[in-house]
């Protein structure tokens, strides 16, 4: 059906044998998280009436309010803010940061250089003045680099953290870096240190790509506030847009005042018919994340057999859905992304090229033949065109389709000449 060489077919069979134990672990974890989500639906008495659309100001939209409660229970939060008008994960983080911080406050980022799009929000290395960044509003920024192996620099954290720090920011996923994603154990250790030295400090975690990857969520391990995108893990491949913020009551209230207006907060905001897709998305999310994890494990196993350097390895613990494949050069990186696109259900005939994507420092190539534009819970592959020429593979709403795409990309690489 697909013209894939015997070598890749044989190696794929070997990769599947290597993946057997990891797949069993993923299935067990998926079952646990699915039960957790089901219980949240039952406990909050989700009804078909909650799928109804509201317009105008959205007063009395019970579906919107119940959706917030479902998200809060799933993630161990006191409250949540789930809205279609969060246009991205970066937007949700921006609302959280501007909702909490005030002129003169200091934010301490402890996971090194933040993701490209957030750098503009903070105002890092920006020549643009009065652009609306945090630094334009008088918010101070400090950053702690990761140590050589990509782990948190705990010594520098203890040295830098003072009672004058208003907020500590962490990025759970690796972003466009090779470092490992933050594990729940690492998050717990970090939060214990922060609360001991500066108990009043607010801890904000960018939770993108990390939802349902393990048995525990960050809010149950010392984090005060998390934020993410609904076209990643928690949207289950069904939510067409949106994002969420979840955490402590008083922080969600401040964030809601930034999203709408002071005083009205989360009590207004029409849902315009998105509720059904958001409820269905979060309900399906544990299973879809399980499929994405299987996709990542398989791709790691196959490319390890082909002799490539990968992180994480197929049998290493995972704390996000992202699989990094280190390719040899810019040409192979572009070829891999184009091959993923050609084996995608949507726009398979399109040939992606690197371009100057807004918010990114380097040219970026993105393959995403997805039902929702840019949805990285669906199979996608993207990378900045800079050394070490690593491609960041994520998603796969069903493993069997994703597996074919990865095999096709591997085949193109070994037969490029």
The per-residue pLDDT for range 320-370, each reduced to its tens digit, is: 999 999 998 999 999 999 999 999 999 999 999 998 877 677 899 999 999
Using only the alpha carbons of the chain, give its radius of gyration. Answer: 21
Q: Over the stretch 60-82, which tens digit does the pLDDT of each residue have?
A: 999 999 999 999 999 999 999 99
Class at the top of the CATH hierarchy for domain 6-34+286-414? alpha beta
Residue 289 has pLDDT above 80, yes or no: yes
Residues 387-399: what's their mean pLDDT?
A: 94
Strand partners for 107 = 141, 167
Q: Give the burial string for 63-80 (b: 16+ CB within 10 Å, else e).
A: bbebbbbbbbbbbbbebb
CATH 3.40.640.10 intervals, the chain: 36-282
In terms of pLDDT, which residue wins out, 51 or 129?
51
The two three-digit tokens of residue 164, written as one number: 């004058």
- CATH 3.90.1150.60 positions along the chain are 6-34+286-414
pLDDT of the residue at 381? 95
Q: Tell me yes or no: is domain 36-282 CATH 3.40.640.10.
A: yes
Residue 407 has pLDDT above 70, yes or no: yes
In the predicted model, is pLDDT for residue 416 greater than 90? no
Sheet holding 243-247, edge to edge: 79-83, 243-247, 225-229, 202-206, 167-171, 106-109, 140-143
Predicted TM-score (pTM) of the model is 0.95
């Amino acid at each position: 059906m697909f013209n894939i060489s015997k070598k890749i077919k044989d190696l794929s069979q070997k990769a599947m044998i290597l993946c057997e134990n990891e797949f069993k672990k993923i299935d067990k974890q998926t079952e646990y998280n699915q039960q957790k989500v089901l219980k949240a639906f039952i406990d909050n008495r989700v009804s078909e009436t909650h799928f109804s659309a509201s317009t105008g100001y959205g007063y009395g939209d019970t579906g919107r309010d119940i959706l917030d409660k479902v998200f809060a229970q799933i993630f161990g939060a006191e409250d949540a803010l789930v809205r279609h008008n969060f246009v991205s994960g970066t937007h949700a983080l921006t609302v959280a940061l501007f909702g909490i911080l005030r002129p003169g406050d200091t934010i301490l980022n402890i996971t090194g250089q933040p993701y490209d799009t957030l750098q503009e929000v903070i105002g890092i290395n920006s020549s643009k003045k009065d652009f609306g960044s945090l630094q334009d509003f008088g918010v101070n920024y400090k950053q702690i680099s990761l140590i050589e192996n990509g782990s948190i620099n705990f010594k520098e954290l203890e040295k830098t953290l003072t009672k004058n720090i208003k907020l500590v920011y962490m990025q759970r996923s690796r972003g466009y870096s090779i470092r490992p994603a933050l594990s729940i154990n690492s998050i717990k250790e970090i939060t214990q240190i922060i609360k001991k030295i500066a108990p009043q400090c607010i801890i904000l975690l960018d939770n993108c790509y990390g939802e349902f990857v393990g048995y525990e969520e960050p809010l149950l391990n010392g984090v005060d506030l998390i934020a993410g995108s609904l076209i990643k893990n928690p949207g289950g491949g069904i939510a067409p847009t949106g994002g969420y913020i979840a955490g402590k009551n008083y922080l969600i209230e401040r964030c809601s005042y930034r999203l709408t207006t002071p005083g009205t907060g989360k009590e207004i905001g029409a849902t315009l018919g998105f509720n059904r897709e958001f409820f269905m998305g979060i309900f399906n999310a544990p299973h879809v994340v399980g499929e994405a994890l299987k996709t990542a494990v398989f791709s790691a196993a196959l490319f390890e057999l082909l002799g490539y350097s990968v992180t994480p390895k197929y049998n290493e613990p995972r704390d996000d859905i992202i699989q990094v494949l280190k390719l040899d050069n810019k040409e192979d990186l572009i070829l891999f992304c184009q091959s993923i696109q050609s084996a995608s259900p949507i726009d398979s005939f399109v040939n992606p090229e690197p371009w100057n994507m807004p918010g990114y420092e380097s040219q970026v190539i993105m393959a995403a033949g997805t039902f929702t534009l840019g949805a990285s819970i669906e199979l996608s592959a993207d990378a900045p065109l800079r050394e070490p020429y690593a491609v960041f593979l994520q998603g796969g709403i069903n493993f069997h389709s994703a597996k074919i795409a990865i095999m096709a990309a591997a085949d193109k690489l070994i037969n490029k000449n």
